[in-house]
Structure 1
Amino acid sequence: MLRILCLALCSLLSGARADPGALLRLGMDVMNQVQSAMDESHILEKMAAEAGKKQPGMKPIKGITNLKVKDVQLPVITLNFVPGVGIFQCVATGMTITGKSFMGGNMEIIVVLNITATNRLLQDEETGLPTFKSEGCEVILVNVKTNLPSNMLPKVVNKFLDSTLHKVLPGLMCPAIDAVLVYVNRKWANLSDPMPVGQMGTVKYVLASTPATTASYIQVDFSPVVQQQKGKAIKLADAGAALQFPGGYAEGSSQLLVSAALLTAELALLRKSFNADIRETMIGELPPQTTVTLAGFIPAVAKAYPKSKPLVTQIRINKPPKLTMNPGKSLLHLHGTLKMSAAQQQGKGLASIFVLEAHFNLKVQYSVRENRLQMATTLDRLLSLARKSSSIGQFNEKELTGFITDYLQEAYIPVVNDALQVGLPLPDFLAMNYNLAQLDIVENALLLDLKLD
């Protein structure tokens, strides 16, 4: 009974574990783009221009005609995270309201005010994208000055101003908050679009759940879909532990955490690009790639090919590539076959000498170019060689370890690096510039510390 209970509990815990993929933590540094959104959209100026126009269904304001709004001050926006909700927003600004007063003269009301609203963060049911929705907009008067005659009764003036401003300002300013959020929400629009990985497939960053808000940041969990160009989606491997942000980063900063499982799935799209047919005789610092050179390691080659023949090497990766990550180090594991053949006279094709099964690791360095993750590799080490077939009889393949190691580094690694130049897509959100990010290899993931400048 105890064993059954344990199995059931383990099953529940396993099901609750986060999918491997990617995590995005948005601190206040990124979310302060709401300020730039209001500046870029010029929404307050547009609202001010609309204020003097007669709107359908809008009742005239008693005591003032020809109402206009001018001299809108540059807004100062303060944001605070509201755990479990989204962002509390306060916009401090000012403006001048003009018109004909009930006394017949020109009137000016200079207003300093705060607009407050809660921007609830939701997941759009149709698109699946994050979206902000404004709630509870209020306009709070900070200071009011007017050119109405000082000999008027203060109570009359205050009552008139209070009535006028409470009719004008909410209808003028609260739509500005909504309009800015529409502008911000548009910057999420491309997030879940499929992005190409060369010509072999696509990656789509799909939200795993509604983004969560804490007192310090917003967290977005992704369950990316890696899709072959002609075929099924590639399932991400179980990472064995939930993806988690490491500590040590400044409060309010923003990071993207990309799992090794996701990068491995993306590299699986490129597996055929890692295959190579190498025919060059002179390659880098290597000795000439001929049967004479090979005979120095395997004497039987000289007997089979008394005259020197050019070598042709065919490398086929026959298992999906696998990426492993430990703090400060990332390795790309490749399993495949290495076939060496002698080139015959024109029209006679290739004569196979041997086929080896090989397992080798490549060290990976990461960078970002044009908002795509770039990888560059160097040979770490050749882990194993095993003879699969041979036309020259038995030989000790370990004698070839040095020769094959040098060959992989000089001749094959450039093929891999060339294939990797397509770059791997990163989530497209809020016009983020990843080129400024600082990269760090952590346990089972790559961390991008996002920078705005």
Structure 2
Amino acid sequence: MWKLFGMVVFCGLLSPSQQVLSGLSCAISPGAMQNVLSDFIIQSGLLDQHLRGLVLPNIMGEGGLLSSPTSITSLHLVEVQLPKLSVALLSGLGVQMTISAKLQLSGNCLVGLLSELVDISVDVNLHTNIKCTNFESGTVQVVIEDCLCILGAVKIRLLSGLLSLSVNELVLNQLTGTLPGVLCPVINLVVNLVNIQLMGTLNAVVPVGTAGTIHYQLASLPFTSGLFLGLDLDGAVKQVGGSIIPHDSSPSALPPLLDKTMVMGLRQSFLSSAMCLLLQIPSQTFTCTPEAFSGASHLQEAIAGLAPAGCLSCHGTSPLSIKLTLFGNPLILLEENSATVELSVMVQVFVRRSDGSILNILLLRADLGLGAHLWIAGSRLMLGLSLGSISLSLESSAVGISDISLLKPHCRDMLVEVLLPLVNDAVGIGIPLPNVLGLSLLGADVQVLVGLVVILL
């Protein structure tokens, strides 16, 4: 077996990270890791590419009283047959990767005065232990230890069919001594190439529409238990221009993997920062008419009834105008099986006087509780929002209105018809997620826990 470890994400530490991290966390099953490595190393042909044609040292034998001197030269690897890869996690010790294969070698054989082609088939088991050290700025150093090569069955075939037991023993002994020095450097090279590829899945800048980006990167050294590989990733949410939208750090425990391939947890504070990028909606100003929303006439009547007698009519017959402006930062609240987006909106109701000046009839603050439906599409967390609760408060009124209780149902209708479609269009692009280890999120389920959105693959 070849215990091959090719990437940072399969490194093991003495203990899980104790640092409180923001962004997201992943727990990945050994089976998922095995499939990833098999795809990168075996199915892609990377291992075969770097082993094929590998030249081995000559095999020389002096012969004895009953055997002729033997030499095998130009010995090279022709084919890697039936490579098989598996992964084992050792809690507190690291990660082991195992590959078993049959190597087909070919060379020239001289037995006494007879020269002919020789084919050698050898089962090879190579063991390596892999760890990660020296975490810095989203990267770690991969350390490959204890590369041990063990040979299994050896079969030698000459065209003449003449082969002594001493030659078979000679080949086995010399391959046992030389193969580790030839194969281990190749394994190191393959490991480094795979490490580069998979680090790219953990360190990536992805756009969030045109408003900004999320920079995902490894936040600490990976850690292993006997059941899963653990990864913590930072997600730096940046607006266009480079300013970072901060989010708090808070510890969150992932649910157990059970029979899942991967469990990914996205923290509440990180999602709230991402929502700030999504909800970049400019102020909306419109005339309070039925063309703008169906309940416009009812809202005008309600406001007219609250204003002092004749207050509005003295400013002409122009219809009321309304300006909606998002206020503050959106906040995602995650409870068991429930996700809510809290959003505040300033509602300015005004009329424009004949001289062009503006009379502010009302300035209201609407605090909205938007129920969120979450799902995965491609590599993004999607949100669909609906208006749940609304709290309406009076900020000011230039015409002396003080009681706004009758306005709440009409404002609710207006926000549902005018604002909510804009909000859903804005969040419709979704929150991009990292392509951890290249694992596709197709078919993933989403669960909402306290403070955490969990993606189950």
- Which amino acid letter does the alignment assign opposite residue 342 of structure 2? H
Is the counterpart of residue 299 in structure 1 residue 305 in structure 2? yes
* Distance in 2 between residues matched to 1:17 and 1:118, nearest whole Å: 26
Q: CA deviation at 1:164?
A: 3.6
Computed over aligned residues only, the root mean square deviation of the Cα atoms, in angstroms, reads: 3.0
Q: 1:326 aligns with which of 335, 339, 342?
A: 335
* Distance in 1 between residues matched to 2:448 and 2:292, nearest whole Å: 31
* Distance in 1 between residues matched to 2:287 and 2:303, nearest whole Å: 20
Q: 1:412 aligns with which of 415, 419, 432?
A: 419
Q: 2:398 aligns with which of 391, 399, 411?
A: 391
* Distance in 2 between residues matched to 1:298 and 1:250, nearest whole Å: 62
Instruction: Report the counterpart of residue 197 of structure 2 in structure 1.
Output: 186
Instruction: Report the counterpart of residue 35 of structure 1 in structure 2.
Output: 38
* Distance in 1 between residues matched to 2:357 and 2:444, nearest whole Å: 50
Change (3 A) 1:397 1:374: same
Q: CA deviation at 1:268?
A: 2.7
Q: What is the SS of the residue equivalent to 1:189? A: helix
Q: What is the SS of the residue equivalent to 2:196? A: helix
* Distance in 2 between residues matched to 1:194 and 1:278, nearest whole Å: 37
- Which amino acid letter does the alignment assign opposite residue 267 of structure 2? S
Instruction: Report the counterpart of residue 64 of structure 2 in structure 1.
Output: none
> Contact 1:122 / 1:132 at 8 angstroms: preserved in 2?
yes
Deviation per residue, 1:311-352 (Å, 9 max, x gap): 43212222211110001111111123111234677x947543
TM-score (norm 1): 0.83
Q: CA deviation at 1:219?
A: 0.9
Matches within 5 A, 1:40-55: 40-52=43-55
Deviation per residue, 1:28-52 (Å, 9 max, x gap): 2321111111224413432343324
Q: Between the two structures, name the one with larger relative contact order (CA 8 Å, sep ≥ 6).
A: 2
299-308 vs 37-46, which moves further? 299-308
Structure 1 unaligned regions, length at least 5 = 1-15, 53-57
Change (3 A) 1:328 1:343: farther
Deviation per residue, 1:183-237 (Å, 9 max, x gap): 2431222533333333333322243321111111111123332233346433213
Instruction: Report the counterpart of residue 4 of structure 1 in structure 2.
Output: none
* Distance in 2 between residues matched to 1:316 and 1:362, nearest whole Å: 16
Structure 2 unaligned regions, length at least 5 = 1-17, 61-70
Q: 1:426 aligns with which of 412, 426, 433?
A: 433
Instruction: Report the counterpart of residue 151 of structure 2 in structure 1.
Output: 141
Matches within 5 A, 1:36-435: 36-52=39-55, 60-62=58-60, 63-103=71-111, 104-122=115-133, 125=136, 128-129=138-139, 132-147=142-157, 153-164=164-175, 166-168=177-179, 170-172=181-183, 175-176=186-187, 178-230=189-241, 232-237=243-248, 239=250, 242-247=251-256, 249-250=257-258, 253-273=261-281, 275-279=283-287, 281-282=289-290, 286-287=294-295, 289-290=296-297, 293-296=299-302, 298-300=304-306, 303-306=310-313, 309-342=318-351, 348=356, 351-382=359-390, 384-435=391-442
* Distance in 1 between residues matched to 2:162 and 2:249, nearest whole Å: 79
* Distance in 1 between residues matched to 2:181 and 2:291, nearest whole Å: 74
> Contact 2:370 / 2:388 at 8 angstroms: preserved in 1?
yes
* Distance in 1 between residues matched to 2:393 and 2:325, nearest whole Å: 15
- Which amino acid letter does the alignment assign opposite residue 236 of structure 2? V
Q: 2:452 aligns with which of 442, 445, 452?
A: 445
Q: What is the SS of the residue equivalent to 2:42? A: helix
- Which amino acid letter does the alignment assign opposite residue 73 of structure 1? Q
> Contact 1:283 / 1:410 at 8 angstroms: preserved in 2?
no
> Contact 2:135 / 2:220 at 8 angstroms: preserved in 1?
no
> Matched residues, percent identical?
20
Q: What is the SS of the residue equivalent to 1:265? A: helix
- Which amino acid letter does the alignment assign opposite residue 150 of structure 2? I
Change (3 A) 1:232 1:396: same
392-401 vs 334-343, which moves further? 334-343
Q: What is the SS of the residue equivalent to 1:194? A: strand
* Distance in 1 between residues matched to 2:39 and 2:155, nearest whole Å: 29
Change (3 A) 1:129 1:278: farther
* Distance in 1 between residues matched to 2:77 and 2:242, nearest whole Å: 59
- Which amino acid letter does the alignment assign opposite residue 425 of structure 2? D
Determine which structure has the larger strand proportion and give its number.
2
Q: CA deviation at 1:139?
A: 2.2
* Distance in 2 between residues matched to 1:192 and 1:411, nearest whole Å: 39
Deviation per residue, 1:261-316 (Å, 9 max, x gap): 111122233454264334473468723x25x6421454156844457644432122
> Contact 1:37 / 1:180 at 8 angstroms: preserved in 2?
no
Count residues with an aligned counterpart: 422
